[in-house]
Structure 1
Amino acid sequence: MDIDVLGTLAVRLNGVSIAPTAPKPRQVLALLALRAGQVVPVGVLTEELWGAEPPRSARATLQTYILQLRELITAALANGDGGGAGQRRQAKDVLLTVPGGYLLKGGDGTSDVREFERLAGSGYRAMDAEDFPQAARLLREALGLWTAPALADVHTGPQLRTEVKRLEESRLCALDQRVEADLRLGRHRELLAELTVLVNQYPTHESLCGQYMLALYRSGRRGEALDAYQRLRATLVRTMGLEPSPALAKLQRSILVSGPGTLPARPAASASMAPVG
């Protein structure tokens, strides 16, 4: 089974889609697919579909959705499972009913989440080893697996919203490290357009703002770097009642007291928070 969630939902068995078009069965499949190989309790699926106050018919309706998914699985199995009649898998062997819930067997297929985590993990290890070209390449490849926000075409209840938030945090972490790797490689001018979009998309994200400030400063745009800090500070104070972190404030002071001809070759520690003088 091949499972893609980093964008639109796609679940294929023997090359055949088993993703329903109806919203609620699609939610059920999305949650089962994200937790493939794990038991998903009936209560978790019920909360995902109906929140804290499910209807009295919730369990029966959920069973109907499971039957609909198994019909799609049956059609996919007929497309490609080999072996004699006694060896052919059935839908209930792929989407299992187990005590307390359901379990979707992912088998040996692909998963864009697993591949993203593998590539990102290798990228982080390359960063730790200060192999910045390798880190930038691996993290860029990991981020390239994202075609849109996770589960972009799936209605999300409380369980899926938590999963989507977790995946988005993982993406932002990989993005932060990839930008840092590129900064350490002196690619500050190439990063400016991307960081301009990112700081507008995430106006309270201090690490991205620090990276943007450093890229601007290294590109000879010292005043704009200081303006970026002031915009972040105003947003943090207005929306959260917080001042920027000491590390970001230190970067701002470093830019403020540095002369226009003292652009650093690379940051000393973190690309987003390193002093520039």
Structure 2
Amino acid sequence: MSVLGLTAPAPAPVGGGSAEFRLLGPVAVHDPVTGAGIMPSGPKQRALLATLVVHAGRRLPAERLVEELWGERPPANAPNALQSHVARLRRLLPSPGGHEWISTLPTGYLLALGPASTDVQRFTQLSAQGRAAVPHDPRHAVELLGRALSLWHGAALQDSCHGPLCTAEADRLEELRLTTLEALYEASLNCGRHTEITSDLERLTCDHPLRERFYDLLMAALYRCGRQAEALGVYERARRHLVTTLGIEPGPALRCRMEAVLTHAHSPAAGRPPGAAELAAELARLQARIDQLVRDQQDLLRRMRQARQSL
């Protein structure tokens, strides 16, 4: 995976020849003996494995696993069906040294990681180290955060998020991924790499239009490139989206960024900063253009409704 032009190293082999459970993408197990990935064949098998790994070391009642796999419509023989899925999963998992992964308890099941690890553990550790390094060592932070993000190979718990346990974990991991991305681009700005990251941040504001931090970072990058008017346009785009979708104005951080752009927070590499009057005029021009686009869209919708009524 390439992040900010850096080619992140391939994930290192798991130390000590231990298996690794991988949840940051398709649910699978890395077999240290063959070097291959073992992937459960069906969605229920993947959901079962993911749920047990997420709650490794903790007993999961059979009732919660039945809910995770079948929701509100379990089969009539749900306990037996669950037992069959567990048995198939046991046969699928590698067993170095005869390690028994899944234990059957009187009221449920438990997966013991033993010497194994998970890609979630590695991602969480690298992300935390990288975020801590952003203020004082941004170059090292970029390296650590890039390595963390390179562990992702698709949506977390891919094809396994139908029950409440897997869904909650996938949501938690996605939030941490986005926080890691925000830290990565903040560190890149601190390294003076504003020119390199503008296109990535443009894409991220489109992919996550309600996440103000991406707008904030994009405005900072554009401003440092000498593109103040575009930075103001980003603010107005964010504001309109937030007001239209959530009925709220941008938060304090984004408003402060806009005010800094309007005044004189100037990067020496950006050329002569325009005066406040110039920027205010440009903002008014952009506002007028946005208002016109909104009117055009409303007019088009009105004409489409009239056309449908006349059919």
TM-score of the superposed pair, with normalisation by structure 1: 0.83
| Unpaired runs of at least 5, structure 1 | 82-88, 266-277
Matches within 5 A, 1:1-277: 1-13=19-31, 15=33, 18-73=38-93, 76-77=94-95, 80-81=96-97, 89=98, 93-127=100-134, 130-258=136-264, 262-263=266-267
Q: Deviations over 1:1-30 (max 9, x none)?
A: 311111111114554655320221221111
**2 CA distance for matches of 1:14 and 1:185?**
38
Q: Partner of 2:9 in structure 1?
A: none
Q: Report the alpha carbon displacement of residue 247 of structure 1 after superposing the two structures with TM.
A: 2.0
Paired letter, 1:115: R
Paired letter, 1:201: D
**1 CA distance for matches of 2:121 and 2:159?**
20
Q: Which runs of 4+ in 1 moved over 6 A?
A: none
Q: Report the alpha carbon displacement of residue 39 of structure 1 after superposing the two structures with TM.
A: 1.9
Q: Report the alpha carbon displacement of residue 168 of structure 1 after superposing the two structures with TM.
A: 0.5
Q: Deviations over 1:173-211 (max 9, x none)?
A: 111111111111111001111111111100010011100
CA contact (8 A) 1:19 1:29 kept: no
**1 CA distance for matches of 2:171 and 2:268?**
36
| Unpaired runs of at least 5, structure 2 | 1-18, 270-311
Paired letter, 2:232: L
Q: Deviations over 1:92-148 (max 9, x none)?
A: x321012422111222123111111111121122235x1211112111111111121
**2 CA distance for matches of 1:153 and 1:53?**
19
Paired letter, 1:6: L
Match of 2:174, SS? helix
Match of 1:29, SS? helix
Q: Report the alpha carbon displacement of residue 36 of structure 1 after superposing the two structures with TM.
A: 2.3
Identity %: 40
| Change beyond 3 A, Cα 1:13–1:39 | farther
Paired letter, 1:96: S
Q: CA RMSD in A?
A: 2.0
CA contact (8 A) 1:233 1:243 kept: yes
Worse-matched range after superposition: 94-103 or 48-57: 48-57
**2 CA distance for matches of 1:246 and 1:20?**
47
**2 CA distance for matches of 1:11 and 1:62?**
20
Q: Report the alpha carbon displacement of residue 54 of structure 1 after superposing the two structures with TM.
A: 3.2
Match of 1:96, SS? strand
| Change beyond 3 A, Cα 1:98–1:11 | same
**1 CA distance for matches of 2:115 and 2:104?**
20
Q: Report the alpha carbon displacement of residue 57 of structure 1 after superposing the two structures with TM.
A: 2.3
**1 CA distance for matches of 2:28 and 2:40?**
10
CA contact (8 A) 2:161 2:170 kept: no
TM-score of the superposed pair, with normalisation by structure 2: 0.74
Paired letter, 1:245: G
CA contact (8 A) 1:7 1:151 kept: yes
Match of 1:230, SS? helix
Worse-matched range after superposition: 205-214 or 144-153: 144-153
| Change beyond 3 A, Cα 1:264–1:146 | farther
**2 CA distance for matches of 1:231 and 1:192?**
16
